[in-house]
Copies of this chain bind each other. A is one copy, B any other.
Amino acid sequence: MGRIRGFASDNNSGVHSQVLAALSNVNNGHAVGYGGDEVTHRTIEKFREIFGAGTDVFFVYNGTGANVIAIQAFTSSYHSVICPQTAHINVDECGAPEKHAGCKLLPVQTANGKLTVANIAAHMHGIGFEHHSQPKMVSITQATELGTLYTIDEIKVIADYVHQHNMYLHMDGARISNAAAALNCTFKEMTVDAGVDVLSFGGTKNGLMYGEAVLFFNHNTEAIKYIRKQTAQLHSKMRYTAAQFEALLTNDLWRENAEHANKMAQKLAAKLKDIPQIQITQAVESNGVFAIVPPHIIEPLQNKFFFYVWDEYKSEVRWMCSFDTQEEDIDDFVELIKEKVAQT
């Protein structure tokens, strides 16, 4: 760890100074635990102002926790959840959805991390057939794990299909701020207004120390507090989770952070276009750049700027920008790439 900023993940970044300040400000005497405090009430109201009065908010520790609570809320163990092959719930949670909900994931191959009605429909068979796990939820990620975005209209089309088939739409919004900033829309337009039923609202990747929120839109959420507790996602000193979100939602800090990260990715992508040996593989629509690079440059680059190889076979890498990525980080990184590319 140190001053050097890499491109490994937006969760390698630190905590935004305003978030850190909020943690200090709230460190003041005793507060009722488990969410019974004023900061939590206040922050939940803030979420309701943003997402609408029918929104119920449950703070949790991390994204996996948020996702498995969302899944448990709407599925039984004989149900299935349709998601892209690349979904975090499918490949990055060590089977947590299957363990916690007992249900089956139905992964779909996609070119860009985005589901379409056509590939959801391909899994809609065996309905009512007791030998077959019954599709009950569709999960999309916004922005996707490949840095791409659903338009609001694309979400609406999926939501309509999902609801016509008596299912629920989950949005994994680990990077929802990056998406809203990129689409220049409100959170509400992209979620509840588009037909999302439950949202994992990400905080950690956009400047929080820890903490995500599960938001339910116009649903009975009586059971969720028990599910959250049983899933070991209920923070006793909840004010510290809530205070971070309050800071994030104040003066649109979320948008400022996300816009910056997105801008840095755009800058990186733009500069990479000048390097013929680098092939960008996904549309750069949020804060990540995916690229096929000459294999020999990977290790030398990683020694200076840490990042992950996305697909070893294709020599495809993932470079993530975050709220604290600096212009000179991009400049230095691209310089280094150019230098290493030249050293065949």
Q: Which residues of chain A have a CB within 8 Å of any CB of chain B?
A: 1-6, 8-9, 11-15, 20, 23-24, 26-34, 37-39, 61-62, 64-65, 68, 76-80, 91-96, 98-100, 102-105, 125-126, 130-134, 204, 209-210, 223, 225-237, 239-241, 306, 312, 324
The contact of A4 among B29, B93, B134, by CB within 8 Å, is: B29
Q: How far is the CB of A26 from chain B (nearest CB, A)?
A: 8
- Taking CB atoms, residues of chain B closer than 8 Å to A78 are 94-95, 99, 223, 226-227, 229-230
Chain B residue with the shortest CB-CB distance to A91: B132
- A contacts with B: majority SS: loop
Q: Do B30 and A5 touch (CB < 8 A)?
A: yes
Known contacts A77-B230, A95-B103, A104-B105; 13 further A-B pairs (Cβ under 8 A): A3-B28, A8-B32, A9-B33, A9-B236, A61-B62, A77-B95, A91-B132, A102-B102, A130-B228, A130-B229, A130-B234, A210-B240, A232-B232
CA distance A20 to B3 in the complex (A): 20
Chain B residues within 8 Å of A61, by CB: 61-62, 210, 232-233, 235
User: Is A33's CB under 8 angstroms from B12's CB?
Assistant: yes
Expressed in whole angstroms, the minimum distance between the Cβ of A305 and any Cβ of chain B is: 9
Q: Which of chain B's residues have a CB closer than 8 A to the CB of A98?
A: 77, 98, 102-104, 133
Which of B13, B77, B96 is A30 in contact with, Cβ under 8 Å?
Answer: B13
CB-based contact A11/B33 at 8 Å: yes
CB atoms of A234 and B24 under 8 A apart: no
